[in-house]
Amino acid sequence: MTHPIITDLNRRYTSKRYDASKKISQSDLDIILEAIRLSPSSINSQPWKIIVISSDEAKQRMHQTFVNKFQFNQPHIKAASHTLLFAYNPKYARSDYEKVIDTDIKNGRTLAENKEQAFGAFAFVDLNTDEHGNNAHWTKAQTYIALGNTMHTVARLGIDSTPMEGVDKDMISELFNDELNGYVCEVALAIGYHEESEDYNATLPKSRLAKDQVITIL
């Protein structure tokens, strides 16, 4: 099968070593961030915050979150061009969805007089919320849509990436407390350009389960 989509997805892989001298261009970074912003989510909830680790100060701060565990991912923070922290709102509430509706009104998608009616979609949040207002499993899943969309986007741009669940959410909550404002980061994506001689994963064959192991056509 030959198609640019398949070429892009076959080429992407999890980089294991970055070339610290190579930076993502501002125009590519702008495309990546706009693609993230355009990510779909259930009821257009967008229950995420993305922290872009770009400056040396931010890299140093993120570097320090690996003090207790997942040290194998620590080198990526300073060597990669950027790291994107994908954080989800563990208690998505009506006040959060109101921001979405207000934006829809501003953008001409919803009429101001239909604002209350627009809250009808919030029933999907209620279905996924426990008695303490916690809907972390639902908002986390939405955030992984954005992650999947982002990984496709960077592959399309020829940029290497490293998805990392091996991040210390507690240390990130502590050191990025002001920026996260209660959101939880359990996954990050390092992006940049791999180091030719030391990235052992760059040349290993891609491997996925066979089609008939994961796909059933009825």
**Residue 32: exposure state from Cβ atoms within 10 A (0-12, 13-18, ≥19):** buried
Cα 117 to Cα 127: distance, rounded to the nearest angstrom: 18
State the helix-helix crossing angle for 4-11 and 136-156, rounded to 10 degrees: 110
Q: How far is the CB of 99 from a copy of itself (least distance, A)?
A: 6
Among 36, 79, 159, 191, binds a copy of itself (CB under 8 A): 36
Among 5, 67, 111, 112, binds a copy of itself (CB under 8 A): 5
Q: How far is the CB of 80 from a copy of itself (least distance, A)?
A: 14
CB atoms within 10 A of CB 160: 28
Q: How far is the CB of 73 from a copy of itself (least distance, A)?
A: 12
- Helix, strand or coil for residue 108? coil
Nearer to a copy of itself, 95 or 213 (CB): 213
Selected range binding a copy of itself among 3-11, 16-24, 73-81, 190-198, rule: CB under 8 A: 3-11
Cα 55 to Cα 23: distance, rounded to the nearest angstrom: 12
CB atoms within 10 A of CB 95: 7
Which contiguous run of DSSP H or E holds residue 51?
strand 48-53
Q: Within 44-73, which residues bind a copy of itself (CB under 8 A)?
A: 44, 46, 48-55, 57-58, 61
Q: Within 85-104, which residues bind a copy of itself (CB under 8 A)?
A: 99-100, 103-104
Q: Would strands 48-53 and 82-88 be described as parallel, antiparallel, or unpaired?
A: antiparallel
Residue 6 touches a copy of itself, criterion: CB under 8 A: yes
- Please tell me what DSSP assigns to residue 205: P
Radius of gyration of the chain (CA): 19
Selected range binding a copy of itself among 17-25, 73-81, 190-198, 210-218, rule: CB under 8 A: 210-218
Q: Within 150-209, which residues bind a copy of itself (CB under 8 A)?
A: 150-153, 156-157, 163, 165-166, 179, 204-209
Residue 213 touches a copy of itself, criterion: CB under 8 A: yes
Q: How far is the CB of 72 from a copy of itself (least distance, A)?
A: 11
Query: Does residue 112 contact residue 102 with C-beta atoms inside 8 Å?
Result: no
Q: How far is the CB of 21 from a copy of itself (least distance, A)?
A: 21
